[in-house]
Amino acid sequence: MHDTLRLIWFVLWGVLWIGYFVLDGFDLGAGILSLFAKDEEEKRFIYNAIGPFWDANEVWLITAGGATFAAFPKTYAVMFSGLYTPLLMLLFCLIFRGVAIEFRNKEEDPKWRRNWDIVFGVSSLLATLLLGVAFANLFKGLPIDDKGIFRGNFFSLLNPYGILGGILFILMSAVHGATWLSFRGYNGFEEKYRNLALQLWVPEVVVAMLFLGYSASVTDLWKNFSQHLVLYVFPAIAILGLLGIPLMLKLGNALAVWISSAVAVLGAASWGLAGLFPNLLKSSIDPAYSLTIYNSSSSKLTLLVMTVVALIFVPIMLVYKFWTYKTFATKLSKDAVYYEEAY
């Protein structure tokens, strides 16, 4: 039963990360695209397009970290001590990003707003880059010794594979953000971000293909797929999502475009996590030193109690998220963007 609970919590752990990438990915992408907004109206539009959602989306990240601590405490200890610098940088990016969203419209001064716009855009870009670099290195393996000590440093994470992963994550988030802005856009903004999504889609596909090829040479991610052919459903989902983006763009269905992008992100993240199993932190020094769901999990009783709690509260959280999006995910207007209490 203990192994079954471990498997359940690996799946739940993966679902939390996938939920974060799908939902926070579009507002991180919108933040990146805000760096190229031309005027005050466009900037206000971007802030208001993600305004009701960005803080709740980040709950998925907090929950994923909490689940790591509770279900796989040894993994949490090694991850948050060994990757202290990039995780601290990510934390500061998310903090400054949130502050920028809330503080930007507190003053009418153009310089005040311009400074917070820069903070918002740059912190979104850096957070996205850090997440991509971090997960690429998780796929590749980290220098963890037999005592579970991380023997690398921040700069060792900036290897070619890690940087390529960061670039891919930036492009995927930018496309995801553009599809969301097109969906919520009004007047010329819908068409602008529809065209931008199509323009960014091409480099996204190119970098994704490069990343997949590079992964085959420097990681063992495809090993599980050769042993369990059913897992190929995940890259198939990612490909269908990617191909659906230009198709839905041509059909002019903005919501379907965003859903296609979300499916692509879901499939790509699922591919990586399925390839990682049963590892949580793979050791590049010796695979025997890797932290897995079997050697780093909590006790059977702890996992059992957590499962019961999850069965109660996860459905509640999902219902709340559904209500939030159903209520607020509508087309914006110029009046709504310039409303006194708007972002």
Note whether 27 and 52 are within 8 A (CB).
no
On the question of pLDDT at 63 being above 60, the answer is yes
Arithmetic mean of pLDDT, 65-87: 90
Residue 325 Cα distances to 23, 54, 150, 336, angstroms: 11, 11, 40, 17
Q: What is the pLDDT of residues 240-297, one digit of tens each?
A: 999 999 999 988 899 999 999 999 999 999 999 999 999 999 999 988 999 999 999 9
Q: Say if residue 41's pLDDT is above 80.
A: yes
Q: Is the pLDDT of residue 21 over 80?
A: yes
Whole-number pLDDT of residue 133:
95
pLDDT > 70: what percent of the chain? 99
Show the 3-state SS of 299-339. CHHHHHHHHHHHHHHHHHHHHHHHHHHHHHCCCCCHHHHCC
pLDDT band per the 50, 70, 90 thresholds, residue 342 = low
Give a three-class secondary structure readout of 168-216.
Answer: HHHHHHHHHHHHHHHHHCCCHHHHHHHHHHHHHHHHHHHHHHHHHHHHH
pLDDT beyond 70 at 343? no
pLDDT value at residue 328: 79
- Please state, in angstroms and rounded to a whole number, the distance separating the CA atoms of residues 27 and 19: 13
- Residue 341: pLDDT band with limits 50, 70, 90: low
Please determine, for residue 51, whether its predicted confidence score (pLDDT) is greater than 90.
Answer: no
Burial class (CB in 10 A: 0-12, 13-18, 19+), 180: buried
Q: Find which of 164-178, 218-232, 241-255, 299-313 is predicted with most confidence, using mean pLDDT.
A: 164-178
Dihedrals φ, ψ of 149, to 5°?
A: -100, 130
pLDDT band at 17; cut points 50, 70, 90: very high
Residue 303, CB-side half-sphere exposure with 13 Å CA sphere: 24
Mean pLDDT over the full length of the chain: 91
Torsion, CA 248, CA 268, CA 310, CA 72, rounded to 10: -170
Is 93 in contact with 56 (CB distance < 8 Å)?
no
Q: What is the largest CA-CA distance in the chain?
A: 61
Q: Which amino acid is at 288?
A: A
Phi, psi of 73 (to 5 degrees): -60, -35
Q: Which tens digits make up the pLDDT trace of 306-323?
A: 999 999 988 888 898 888
Task: Give the predicted TM-score (pTM) of the model.
Answer: 0.93
pLDDT confidence of residue 274 = 94
Contact call for residues 270 and 221 (beta carbons, < 8 A): no
In whole angstroms, what is the distance from residue 178 CA to residue 331 CA? 14
pLDDT band for position 106 (50/70/90)?
confident
Averaged over 129-136, what is the pLDDT?
Answer: 95
User: E strands of the chain, at which residues?
Assistant: 279-281, 291-292
pLDDT at 150: 87
Q: Is the model more confident about 83 or about 259?
A: 259
Q: Give domain limits for the chain.
A: 2-337
- The CATH architecture to which 2-337 belongs is Up-down Bundle (1.20)
- Residues constituting the chain: 343
Range of weakest confidence among 47-56, 92-101, 179-188, 234-243: 47-56
- 3-state DSSP assignment of residue 94: helix
Mean pLDDT value across residues 109-137? 95
List the structure tokens of 160.
Answer: 């070619």
Distance between CA atoms of residues 14 and 20, nearest Å: 10
Q: What is the pLDDT of residues 325-337, one digit of tens each?
A: 888 778 888 777 7
User: Are 51 and 342 spatial neighbours (Cβ–Cβ below 8 Å)?
Assistant: yes
